[in-house]
Amino acid sequence: MHVDNLPAGGTAPPDTDTGPAGRPPVVTARGVTKTYGRTRALTGVDLEVRAGEVLGLVGHNGAGKSTLMRVLAGLEPCDAGTVLVHGAKASAGDFRTVRMAYQETSLCPDLTVAENMWVSSRHCLPRLRWRRAASDAVGRRLDEMFPGHGVSPRDRVEDLSLARRQMVEIARACLVDRLDLLILDEPTESLGPDAARSLYAYVRRLTEAGTAVLLISHRIREVLSVADRVAVLRDGAVTAERPASGLSEPDVLGLMGAHVAAAPTFGAPAAAGTAARETVAELLGATGPGLREVTLRVGRGEVVGLAGLAGQGQQEVLERLWRPVRRDTTVGVSRAYVPGDRQRSGVLPLWSVGDNLIVTALRGIARRGLRRPAEERAVVADWVKRLSIRGGAEAGITELSGGNQQKVIVARAFASPAGLVLLDDPFRGVDVHTKTDLYGLIRQEAAKGRSVVWYSSENAEMAHCDRVYVFRAGRVVAELTGEEISEERIIGVSFAEKGEDD
Amino acid sequence: MNIRVAGPRSWSGPRNGAPWVWGFAAAALVWLVILVISGQGGGQTVSLALSLAPYLVIVGLGQMLVVTAGPGNIDVSVSSIISLAGFVSVAAASATGSAAVGILAGIGVGVLVAAVSTVAILGLSVPPIIATLAAGLVASSITLSTANGFTAVPDAGLRAALNLRPAGVPVLALAIAVLTVLVAALLRRTVYGRSLVAVGQNRRAAERAGVPVARVTATTYLLSGALAGLTGALLAAYIAPSADLGTRYLLDSVAVVVIGGTLISGGRAVPVGVWGAALFFILLDGLVNLVGWSTAAQNLLKGGLVLFVLFLAGGGDRSGGLASLFRRRPRPAAATTTTTITGDDTDG
Amino acid sequence: MAQLLAPALPGRARMRRSAPAAVSAVALIVMIGVCSSLQPGVLTVEGLTLVLSATVPLVIAAQAQMTLMAVGDIDLGIGNFVGLVTVVSATLLVSSPLTGVLVLAGLVAAYAVLGFLIHLRQVPALIATLGASFVWLGLGLFLLPTPGGTTPEWLASFGAWQPAGFPAPLLPIVVVALLVYLLSARSALGVRMRGLGSNPVVLRRAGLRPVTSRVVAYAAAGVLGVLSGLVLASQTGGGDVSSASSYTLMTVAAVILGGGSFAGGTAVPWGAAVGGVTLGLVSVVLSLLDVRSDMQSAVQGVIVLAVLAGRVVVGKVLR
């Protein structure tokens, strides 16, 4: 079938007589589990996506949404359980009618829009003059989905704004000769409100034609307005599955495990204790890529949390503090950084635990550029003992478990004389025992007068902070102090749809 | 430090064993072949090889430091530096009458040329291969214009010293052995050395660990330039300054680094391995001459061996390979995918 | 309709991307201007033929380099490879044309195999091609230890071809750039090649095998390398394995001048042509300017650095 001849939606016959509940399931997950190393991402998921319905999938950071999507799209096998496509056990080819629009987009930045269409939809493009066909098809699809999109098929993806890239990504996912299930991963995260409305209108047209849509979003209100049913994912399992009608935002937040404050207080005053502390670092109205008018200060010996959903500007703040080159940022002490992505920016893979641990501190220990091995060994031994790092100082870092590797990376920062330690969500996927050790360490070091700025995607961790700034869309939307800091409050504030229209 | 990891798998994985052995083993093999074919003077062969290898070792050590700085780092200006340093050191030595001044001048020239590359790499964000190429081109022009009507002759004392072989052991080989030990100590015992190895393993992690990446990179290229300059000064005294004195050393220096067991992707330097590989190369030259093979066979052998070692060892993860280093623009799609617990790039 | 109203390319992005090629095109025009002011004859057909012919093999070799840089690799063996081809065409191609053609085809296949092994063993192309350059050199010396030999008549007559009306060297430059443009920028294979350099994860998700892209790129580079060698041999009239050794780095510089990048993902066939002609013309201009031949490589080096510095400045201004 030729992609140009497509109707707006898929080709499954619309059976409007029965409601979505009576329709056949397109993709069914039964008891699906998935484990990465020691992290159990999915712990037995049962989920059914039916033809012609919009299923909303909600859940907090790390609930297993992305993993579930990849399994449902056939990109990854599951460890246990089954995934059925049209009621039959699925083989790789069956997933061709399941398409996914990725949040981070799945486009080659150097290729044009039309060329990207060839990469992902070449099966339904002619062999000759494919460029023309792809341009026409994507242009028409974009016109249908996002009127006034302003994207030309000849544009290179890297030249497009984030919103337009997202439009192209969604159009790419829809460009196929038969579409049974469309998975949308945070589709409106970078879209403006108009484009989001157009998208959901299109989603409605798709489902009328019989296509199933799985919508993943943390914008609860949007999910409720678009979805027929809502499934709540919590700790790797579906904990609730309800019809969307009759559900309210607080209901869903409650199902996700949040307690919603009646009226979240924005910009709560800092407790008297923190105001008295000497300021070691400060951002004054910092604005830039990903940040808007952020003002925050860090006191000596204070643990400051940066909370909120992932990617709302917290890492940009850490970046500013790590390399304070702009005038709006002042940092008065030396710094150390604990990266969250161990493999990419933490571990030095060819070295032992001891070497990895001491690399930051050895600058301070050395005399005239020459290392002092005895002193280094003493520091290493001390930290290995203090954090009970398995394997000892001589073990290769890559032989360690993720949790122990993370201990080494954390110890690396605290073994240095730095006055301000920046934590970039370092405890993701670390086991509870290790976490408890490290939380204790952070409090101990803060008590010694070190300041800590701690970004975490796990809101429960924020309870260990003196003060928490909650971020949304590059702004500080709330400052919580002491008693106010609780997981429920943070979830409530970060999901509250204030300032949604920016 | 009494807590060692349990089990037989201690901290020396399959690729961390003793990679330098292979160069020496190959050298020994070639030496045996020479011995069998010529049927005489095994000791003499070794002595000759030891007097020729040091030049390659010095420049190889510099190249090794550069390669250790991580993927994409290579110094292609070494050959031009050697030729230029040869002329300058001979001129300086004959002008002042002091061989030491000559050697220092050679080293200084190397540092100067490397400084140009460094400024281009760090200041203009020019990829190292282009920056060192451009600096090398400038150097070779200066060499050519110096070569015209160059009359000074190398310092006789230095030449005699380079040819000194008490009990068959060249003095130069001993000196360069000491230099090799010094480089090894530099890598193990100094802050700079540790920083370099950290940068080479994972540039981003090193930066996050507080390593001054730019300063380390600059130091590395300057050191490589200095060592190439030293090679040029010694080589010019040993043979004679000429415009193509350093030509063969570009490819050879990279080759001895690879064969010597230094990780091509950076992060692990094996100074001793450079010796093994250099001896192997020199002995191979000798063997080819002995058998009467042409330089053609010599090059075929060298190239084949480099490729063989390379493909045998393999490179591992491409995502951290050459392309990623040259990438200066942030690539949102690629970057985010690698941060997920597993990218879905397992198939394919 | 919206797509008709939208500009073909966002203006700033287009300017930023074409800035490098524009900078080197300006350099090129300035150089031709300088030439013609010194030697009015340069702007005639004969003059341009003379000036441009020396750059043809370099430009074709630069296209080979560009093809590999599009997938994110670098070829440090192209210089010796071109030299080897001149040797083959001055020896085997004369003595037994069939063997010669087969050997040339074998060389292309060797390039494809090299690309395959580089992908399979995940080794840096930089080092692998450096190793291969020894092999090309060795083979060349094996066939022809000292420069010499004669090229086949048809090849020589191509080198001497002087059509009326336009400078002959323009034809191979434009035709090769057009072919490379069709392959790398217009065809589906080109999309796969650039996709590999741009974001291999996307290729795998879409079910495309990255190894195919790499092998195709290497094979194309091999073909272009052979072409370059044949043209060089037609001009010099003989074989010399080291006649093109400067090409290795010159081609990289030409691609960078033309707007290519080490990151891969972009194909700049026209830019590579402009960059190659610019670099090749430097020596012509310098000899017209009576600059000593000693200083030519220095000026080339300085020009490369200056153009790259210009790019940094232009990039900052346009950001």
pLDDT confidence tier of residue C223, bands split at 50, 70 and 90: very high
Q: Are residues A157 and A285 in the same domain?
A: no
Q: Residue type for A362, please?
A: L
- Is B344 within 8 Å of C122 when comparing Cβ atoms? no
pLDDT number for residue B17? 56
pLDDT tens per residue, range B147-190: 888 888 888 888 898 888 888 889 999 999 999 999 999 999 99
**Does the beta carbon of C15 lie under 8 angstroms from any beta carbon of chain A?**
no
Best mean pLDDT range from B53-67, C23-37, C154-168, C263-277: B53-67
Report the CATH number at residue C74.
1.10.3470
pLDDT number for residue C3? 38
Query: Which domain, by its residues, includes B191?
Result: 19-311
- Is C134 within 8 Å of B303 when comparing Cβ atoms? yes
Domain annotation covers residue B336: no
- Is B306 within 8 Å of C127 when comparing Cβ atoms? yes
Domain annotation covers residue B132: yes
How many Å apart are CA C236 and CA C158, to the nearest integer? 12
Interhelix angle A162-174/A113-121, nearest 10 degrees: 30
Q: Are residues A408 and A438 in the same domain?
A: no
Both structure tokens of A269? 């005053």
pLDDT tens per residue, range C44-68: 888 888 888 889 999 999 999 999 9
- Is B329 within 8 Å of A369 when comparing Cβ atoms? no
pLDDT tens per residue, range C66-122: 999 999 898 989 999 999 999 999 999 989 999 999 999 999 999 999 999 999 988
Domain annotation covers residue A425: yes
**Does the beta carbon of C264 lie under 8 angstroms from any beta carbon of chain B?**
yes
Q: Are residues A108 and A220 in the same domain?
A: yes
- What is the number of domains present in chain A? 3
How many Å apart are CA A138 and CA A113, to the nearest integer? 8
Both structure tokens of A107? 């486009």
Domain annotation covers residue C37: no
pLDDT tens per residue, range A465-496: 999 999 988 889 889 888 888 878 887 787 76
pLDDT confidence tier of residue B345, bands split at 50, 70 and 90: very low
Question: Is the model more confident about C261 or about A107?
Answer: A107
pLDDT number for residue A460? 78
Q: Are residues A192 and A110 in the same domain?
A: yes
Cα distance from C13 to chain A (closest Cα, Å)?
6
Interhelix angle C45-53/C11-38, nearest 10 degrees: 110
Domain annotation covers residue A22: no
Partner-chain residue, chosen from B134, B255, B299, that has the shortest CB–CB distance to C304: B134
Q: Are residues A238 and A157 in the same domain?
A: yes
- Helix/strand/coil percentages in chain B, nearest 5: 70, 0, 25
Of chain A, the percentage scoring pLDDT greater than 70 comes to: 88
Report the CATH number at residue A185.
3.40.50.300
Spell out a b/e string for A457-488, using b for 16 or more CB atoms within 10 Å of the CB, else e. Answer: bbbebbebbbbbbbbbbbbbbbbbbeebbbbe
Q: Residue type for A23, please?
A: R
pLDDT tens per residue, range B216-269: 999 999 999 999 999 999 999 999 999 889 988 988 898 899 888 888 888 999
Residue B178: closest CA among B275, B245, B112, B267: B275
Domain annotation covers residue B258: yes
Residue A161: pLDDT over 80: yes
C198-C204-C208 Cα angle (round to 5): 95
Cα distance from B330 to chain C (closest Cα, Å)?
11
Q: Are residues A123 and A167 in the same domain?
A: yes
Residue B11: pLDDT over 80: no
- What is the number of domains present in chain B? 1
Domain annotation covers residue C305: yes
Q: Are residues A171 and A222 in the same domain?
A: yes
Chain A residues in contact with C1 (beta carbon < 8 A): 143
List Cβ neighbours of B39 (8 Å cut-off, separation of 6 or more).
none
- Is A109 within 8 Å of C199 when comparing Cβ atoms? yes
How many Å apart are CA C180 and CA C190, to the nearest integer? 9
- Contact call for residues A457 and A310 (beta carbons, < 8 A): yes
Residue C195: pLDDT over 50: yes
Residue B6: pLDDT over 60: no
How many Å apart are CA A479 and CA B330, to the nearest integer? 31
Chain A residues in contact with B5 (beta carbon < 8 A): 391-392, 394-396, 399
Of chain A, the percentage scoring pLDDT greater than 90 comes to: 33
Domain annotation covers residue A34: no
CB count within 10 Å of CB C160 equals 11
Cα distance from C68 to chain A (closest Cα, Å)?
15
Spell out a b/e string for B276-286, using b for 16 or more CB atoms within 10 Å of the CB, else e. Answer: bbbbbbbbbbb
Domain annotation covers residue B341: no
Domain annotation covers residue B155: yes
How many Å apart are CA A404 and CA A202, to the nearest integer? 48
Average pLDDT over residues C259-286: 86
Compute the half-sphere exposure of residue B120: CA atoms within 13 Å on the CB side of its CA: 30
Q: Are residues A233 and A250 in the same domain?
A: yes
- Is B300 within 8 Å of C135 when comparing Cβ atoms? yes
Q: Are residues A243 and A284 in the same domain?
A: no
pLDDT tens per residue, range A17-26: 445 556 788 8
Partner-chain residue, chosen from A110, A130, A152, that has the shortest CB–CB distance to C188: A130
Average pLDDT over residues A439-468: 89
- Is B321 within 8 Å of C122 when comparing Cβ atoms? yes
Domain annotation covers residue A43: no
- Please report, for chain A, how many H helices and E strands are present, in that order: 16, 19
Chain centroid offset of residue A123 CA: 31
Average pLDDT over residues B51-57: 94
**Does the beta carbon of C206 lie under 8 angstroms from any beta carbon of chain B?**
no
Domain annotation covers residue A312: yes
Query: Which domain, by its residues, includes C83?
Result: 51-313
pLDDT number for residue A19? 53
How many Å apart are CA C25 and CA C28, to the nearest integer? 5
Q: Are residues A109 and A248 in the same domain?
A: yes
Domain annotation covers residue B340: no
Average pLDDT over residues A258-280: 51
How many Å apart are CA C258 and CA C69, to the nearest integer? 12
Q: Are residues A287 and A320 in the same domain?
A: yes
- Contact call for residues B66 and B222 (beta carbons, < 8 A): no
Chain C residues in contact with B255 (beta carbon < 8 A): 130-131, 134
pLDDT tens per residue, range A71-98: 888 888 888 888 888 877 767 667 788 8
pLDDT tens per residue, range A113-148: 999 999 998 888 898 889 999 999 999 999 999 998
How many Å apart are CA B200 and CA B192, to the nearest integer? 12
Domain annotation covers residue B344: no
How many Å apart are CA A332 and CA A180, to the nearest integer? 57
Residue B282: pLDDT over 70: yes
- Helix/strand/coil percentages in chain A, nearest 5: 35, 25, 40
- Is B1 within 8 Å of A393 when comparing Cβ atoms? yes
Report the CATH number at residue B118.
1.10.3470
Q: Are residues A394 and A325 in the same domain?
A: no
Domain annotation covers residue C11: no
Query: Which domain, by its residues, includes A177?
Result: 3-15+51-67+94-256
pLDDT confidence tier of residue A275, bands split at 50, 70 and 90: low
Cα distance from A70 to chain B (closest Cα, Å)?
8
Domain annotation covers residue B323: no
Domain boundary among A241, A256, A271: A256
Question: Is the model more confident about A275 or about B83?
Answer: B83
pLDDT number for residue A21? 58
